[in-house]
């Protein structure tokens, strides 16, 4: 007897969610299909029933990770309407988030590896990053009807899909993702430097938010 559609869908979702965690923990190139299916508690046949290639699974795992983390950041910002970016920065640039790579933001987790992947994972990462930037932009624009430019940004370097994003939002995004990525890279060898990177970036986002609201 064939499996019920609900069971098949549940297995597929379990694989994507598990792969999302494993890829973030170990990087997109390290885990094999067998590793991923074993972690999900399903057989290798499950992979071939649902995915055309390992890159297809990676692309879906990246997308799922962004959806989860964008939703979490939206909830944090909405819970702190007076200073949403500051609240997001405090959570994002925390030691707990730094040390929770497997459940953390995919923008940082895949930052160093995405450019070497195939088209599908690259596209998934770019779309996810745009979702994250758009979320930050929403909070910036809610604070004021007028969004000033923080720094000059020539039209030639603006992607057409991101042309409506303000510079404050993109600067906040760069501060968050860049600081978290660097803080993770040096956490074991130089904990003090790692902590300072988090602290300075949190302060930078606070300044961006305060400067915009002024």
Nearest residue to 127 (alpha-carbon basis) of 37, 41, 66:
66
Task: Output the pTM of the full model.
Answer: 0.86
What sign results for the dihedral spanned by CA atoms 35, 124, 127, 159?
positive
Nearest residue to 36 (alpha-carbon basis) of 54, 50, 52, 63:
54
Q: Determine the pLDDT at residue 4.
A: 74
Which of 1.20.1440.130, 1.10.357.10, 2.40.180.10, 2.30.40.10 would CATH assign to domain 54-213?
A: 1.10.357.10
Contact between 24 and 101 under an 8 Å Cβ cutoff? The reply is yes
Helix (H, G, I), strand (E, B) or coil at 189: coil
Q: Determine the pLDDT at residue 10.
A: 87
Taking the chain (214 residues) in consecutive chunks of 10 residues, what is each chunk's mean pLDDT?
72 94 95 94 90 95 97 97 96 97 96 93 96 94 54 40 82 96 97 98 93 65
Contact between 167 and 149 under an 8 Å Cβ cutoff? The reply is yes
- Measured at the CA of 69, the angle between CA 179 and CA 178, to 5 degrees, comes to 15
Counting Cα atoms < 13 Å in the Cβ hemisphere of 1 gives 4
pLDDT digits (tens, 9 = 90+) for 134-146: 999 999 887 654 4
| Residue 147 DSSP one-character state | -
Q: Determine the pLDDT at residue 102.
A: 95
Nearest residue to 20 (alpha-carbon basis) of 93, 136, 125, 119:
125
């Amino acid at each position: 007897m064939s499996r019920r559609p609900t069971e098949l869908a549940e297995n597929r979702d379990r694989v994507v969610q598990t792969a999302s965690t494993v890829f973030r923990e170990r990087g997109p190139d390290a885990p094999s299909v067998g590793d991923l299916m074993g972690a999900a508690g399903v057989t290798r046949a499950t992979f071939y029933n649902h995915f055309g290639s390992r890159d297809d699974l990676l692309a879906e795992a990246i997308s799922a990770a962004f959806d989860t983390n964008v939703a979490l950041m939206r909830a944090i910002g909405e819970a702190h309407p007076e200073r949403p970016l500051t609240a997001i920065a405090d959570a994002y640039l925390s030691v707990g988030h730094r040390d929770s790579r497997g459940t953390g933001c995919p923008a940082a987790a895949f930052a160093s590896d995405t450019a070497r992947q195939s088209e599908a994972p690259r596209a998934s990462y770019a779309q996810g990053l745009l979702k994250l930037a758009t979320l930050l932009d929403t909070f910036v624009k809610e604070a004021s009807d007028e969004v000033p430019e923080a720094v000059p940004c020539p039209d030639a370097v603006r992607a057409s899909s991101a042309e409506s994003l303000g510079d404050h939002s993109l600067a906040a995004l760069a501060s968050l993702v860049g600081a978290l990525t660097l803080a993770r890279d040096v956490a074991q060898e130089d904990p003090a430097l790692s902590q300072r990177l988090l602290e300075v970036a949190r302060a930078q986002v606070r300044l961006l938010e305060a400067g915009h609201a002024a």
